[in-house]
A and B are shown apart, each in its own frame.
Chain A
Amino acid sequence: MILSLCQWAQDTSFFTAIRGSWNVYPVIMATHLLGIALFGGMILITDMRLLRWAMRNRSISDVVDQLRAPKRVGFLIVAACGVLMLGSKAEEYYYNIFFRIKLVLLLCVFLHGIIFRSSVYANAAALDRAPKIPGRAKLAAIVSLLLWTGIACAGRAIGYVEPPLERIHAGLLHGGLPMVQSVENQRSVR
């Protein structure tokens, strides 16, 4: 069902136009990377401050509270570009193992935000008052850094896997993944 949704989405005229134009897709990808550059650094500095490896002269609340809004704006830009790229080649992304890994890691990041919000990221003033930065905050920072680094690497790896769409459509392969009903999705070869 998700596969049919992907195939429908990429066949809409909007996404077909993106896929067909030689410069729109790279511009979207470059904006995606630009967003990572501008705002990934902010995520890094926030977590590095929690670990006391960066911006030690500023209080934790100064760093965390002031970077929160820009980070959210950055995430929206990056995610919007991601959705545009996904829509234009949805079926390829469906079969791409690294895209699936990236989605799982994004889910983990989302859960990480929920888990550590009240004790760390929304609690910066209390962290400043503590004599030493609590282990929980450091754990949150390390997990966050690992997850975001993983997301970036998985994202880069997406480009190295090219699902053989023609063979999948011809029913020769089952996409290398279970649950793909290639029979009902046979279409004319692109």
Chain B
Amino acid sequence: MLMQNPLNASESAFPVLECLHIIGFAISVGTIAIVDFRLLGLGMLRQKVTDLNNDLWLWTLAGLIIVVFTGLLLYSSDPDMYYLNVAFLFKMACLSAAIIFHYTIHRKVISSDASGEYGKVVACLSLTLWASVIFGGIFIGFVNAGL
């Protein structure tokens, strides 16, 4: 029995999911940004990086879960279109890289409390990856359909 995706049956489902998606990445990327700005020495200098990270990692994880979950639902509303959209593919590549980078090299740098040049490079790379994810997301609606 073939069912229509319930998300496409409702007019407001997609916009609501998008708003949740935006809130999710504000939470996750925002908290990652606070830690990265600390690594770059641009803010929150009263705390050590490890302390900041201990305070915020749970929020980051919650935000990422919201983002990925709403993202999957959004994708399900029109899978073929997204699959063939070059901006979406770019976004997914950057997202995978960003998540992997965040939980490996980035986490190691934070726990070793690196405050030197290496920490700054890692922070810049982290911010660049997450910014690329966001840029990719916006361009989904602006690139031509089909690869």
Contact = CB atoms under 8 A, between A and B. Distances in A.
B22 A156 contact: yes
Interface size of A as a range: 20 to 34
Given A29-B138, A33-B138, A36-B26, A45 B43 contact: no
Interface string B16-29: 00110011011111
B135 interface: yes
B93 interface: no
Interface stretch (A4-12, A54-62, A114-122): A54-62
B18 A54 contact: no
A58 B29 contact: no
Interface size of B as a range: 35 or more
Looking at A23, A29, A37, which has the most chain B CB atoms within 10 Å of its CB? A37
Contact of A70 (B42, B127, B131): B42
Contacts of A25: 142
B47 A37 contact: no
Contacts of A160: 15
A45 B31 contact: yes
A44 interface: yes
Contacts of A69: 43
B45 to A, nearest CB: 7
Q: Is the interface of A mostly helix, strand, loop or mixed?
A: helix
Given A55-B56, A58-B55, A66-B46, A153 B31 contact: no
Nearest to A154: B19
Interface in A34-55: 34, 36-42, 44-45, 54-55
Given A23-B142, A26-B139, A37-B33, 17 more contacts: A33-B22, A33-B134, A36-B22, A36-B26, A37-B29, A37-B30, A38-B29, A39-B30, A40-B30, A41-B33, A42-B34, A58-B51, A62-B46, A70-B37, A70-B43, A152-B23, A153-B19
Interface of A: 22-23, 25-27, 29-30, 33-34, 36-42, 44-45, 54-58, 62, 66-67, 69-70, 149, 152-153, 156-157, 160
Task: Across the A-B interface, give the 8 residue pairs with the lowest CB-CB distance, nearest first.
Answer: A41-B30, A40-B26, A37-B29, A30-B138, A30-B135, A38-B33, A26-B142, A55-B55
